[in-house]
């Protein structure tokens, strides 16, 4: 039975979680009508996107849980997009967040969705921008995006999020290497999680030095200690997030860069839509046997045929 996309979008805007889940599935899997659904989206600035990233084992999911409890007490409506690693065989998500966030399943103020990376680099899903835009159509105050945690290549999250939290733990490894990693360049807030562990003070001190060196006359990156499993430091972290969201200026350059890259991919995909790969392979085989084969000449001729 065909989906009435306009009705589906209306239900998403009214806060129907079942319709939102269906809309995400349509977009993520490029099912019939997904382009029409995307074309009907509005630019919604109500819901702010908060990215939470950091290396594996940093306690990102525990931190998300603690923040959810905090914001629920303030009657916030929140969506969580948790990007999980994909199986290398079927590209399905491992869905670890379904276990870690089980206490919020039945809460009417929280929507949780897993996405698989499906081979995408950067700690995010290939469809993360589209999915986030679909979720923005819902009546949410905040959207939390938790990345896979693949290390310093996760800088994509900085372009997607209005505020990026980089979570580290004392056991994260060599401190000097950690401070040099590219992931350190994207933080709006540094969090030293598991701050009750040994060497937490040393990591906190080094991050404060880094934040001071990157400071501008107007601002300095906050460095906050938390013990997320005990909800310690969460009030301070939430206040820092609110302060950043309330004091944002203009359109961030990093988001412009991300959208430029995405726009390029969309145009590229559209231009390639009518290219038949099997026909190209057959013609390439014939051309290779012609005795005067040139890949670049063949490519140009194929595109013009």
Four-CA torsion 151, 155, 160, 161, nearest 10 degrees? 70
- pTM over the 0.85 mark: no
CATH of the domain spanning 44-254: 3.40.50.300
Task: Write b or e for each residue in 98-119: b if 16 or more Cβ atoms lie within 10 A of its Cβ, otherwise e.
Answer: eebbeebeeeebbbbbbbbbbe
Q: Label residue 90 by pLDDT band (50, 70, 90).
A: very low
Pairing label, strands 78-84, 142-146: parallel
Of the given ranges (8-12, 178-182, 183-187, 228-232), which has the lowest mean pLDDT? 178-182
| 294, two tokens | 């040139």
Which secondary-structure segment (H or E) carries 179? Answer: helix 175-180
Q: What pLDDT is recorded for position 57?
A: 81
Residue 77 CB neighbours (<10 A): 18
pLDDT bucket at 251, cuts 50 / 70 / 90: low
Which of 46-50, 175-179, 256-260 comes out lowest in average pLDDT?
175-179
C-alpha to C-alpha distance for 249 and 260, rounded to whole angstroms: 20
pLDDT single digits (tens) 38-85 = 999 987 668 999 999 888 788 888 999 999 999 999 999 999 998 865
Q: What is the model's pLDDT at position 260?
A: 82
The per-residue pLDDT for 122 is: 44
Burial class of residue 174 in the structure, from the number of CB atoms within 10 Å of its CB (0-12 exposed, 13-18 middle, 19+ buried): exposed
Q: Between the CA of residue 126 and those of 168, 224, 262, what are the distances in Å?
A: 25, 31, 10
Between CA 122 and CA 277 the distance in angstroms is 28
Angstrom distance (rounded) from CA 59 to CA 226: 10
Q: Rounded to whole angstroms, how far apart are CA atoms 212 and 267? A: 41
**To the nearest whole number, what is the mean pLDDT of the chain?**
82
31 or 92, higher pLDDT:
31
- Rounded Cα gap, residues 211 and 188, in angstroms: 10
Q: How far apart are CA 20 and CA 281, in angstroms?
A: 40
Looking at residue 99, what is its pLDDT?
58
Radius of gyration of the chain from Cα atoms?
22
Cβ-contact 55, 83 below 8 angstroms: no
- Please report the pLDDT score of residue 222 as a whole number: 95
Q: How far apart are the first and last CA of the chain?
A: 39
The Cα–Cα gap between 65 and 55 comes to 17
Domain boundaries, the chain: 1-40, 44-254, 259-304
Distance from C-alpha of 194 to C-alpha of 232, rounded to nearest angstrom: 10
Interhelix angle for 295-304 vs 277-288, to 10°? 140
Three-class secondary structure of residue 33 per DSSP: coil
Q: Which residue has the tokens 């001071």?
A: 212
Dist CA 254 CA 64 (whole Å): 24
As a whole number of angstroms, the distance between CA 223 and CA 12 comes to: 37
Look up tokens 């670890």; give the residue: 96
Phi, psi of 240 (to 5 degrees): -65, -40
Q: How large is the average pLDDT for residues 174-181? A: 53
């Amino acid at each position: 039975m065909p989906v009435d996309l306009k009705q589906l979008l209306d239900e998403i805007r009214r806060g129907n979680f079942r319709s939102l889940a269906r809309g995400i599935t349509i977009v993520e899997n490029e099912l019939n009508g997904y382009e029409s659904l995307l074309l009907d989206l509005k630019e919604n600035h109500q819901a702010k996107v908060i990215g939470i990233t950091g290396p594996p084992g940093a306690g990102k999911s525990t931190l998300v849980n603690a923040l959810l409890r905090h914001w629920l007490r303030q009657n916030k409506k929140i969506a969580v997009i948790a990007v999980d690693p994909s199986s290398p065989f079927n590209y399905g998500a491992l869905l670890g967040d379904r276990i870690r966030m089980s206490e919020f399943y039945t809460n009417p103020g929280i929507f949780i969705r897993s996405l698989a990376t499906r081979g995408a680099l950067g700690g995010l899903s290939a469809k993360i921008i589209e999915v986030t835009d679909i979720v923005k159509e819902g009546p949410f105050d905040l959207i939390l995006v938790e990345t896979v945690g693949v290390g310093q290549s996760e800088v994509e999250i900085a372009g997607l999020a209005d505020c990026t939290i980089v979570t580290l733990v004392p056991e994260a490894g060599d401190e000097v290497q950690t401070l040099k990693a590219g992931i350190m360049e994207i933080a709006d807030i540094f969090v030293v999680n598991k701050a009750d562990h040994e060497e937490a003070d040393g990591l906190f001190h080094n991050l404060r030095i880094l934040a001071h060196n990157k400071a501008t006359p107007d601002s300095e990156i906050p460095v906050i200690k938390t013990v997320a499993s005990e909800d310690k430091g969460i009030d301070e972290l939430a206040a820092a997030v609110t302060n950043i969201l309330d004091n944002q200026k203009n359109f961030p350059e990093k988001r412009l860069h991300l959208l430029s890259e995405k726009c390029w991919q969309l145009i590229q995909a559209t231009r390639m839509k009518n290219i038949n790969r099997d026909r190209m392979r057959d013609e390439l085989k014939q051309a290779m046997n012609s005795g005067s084969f040139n890949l670049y000449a063949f490519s140009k001729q194929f595109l013009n045929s």
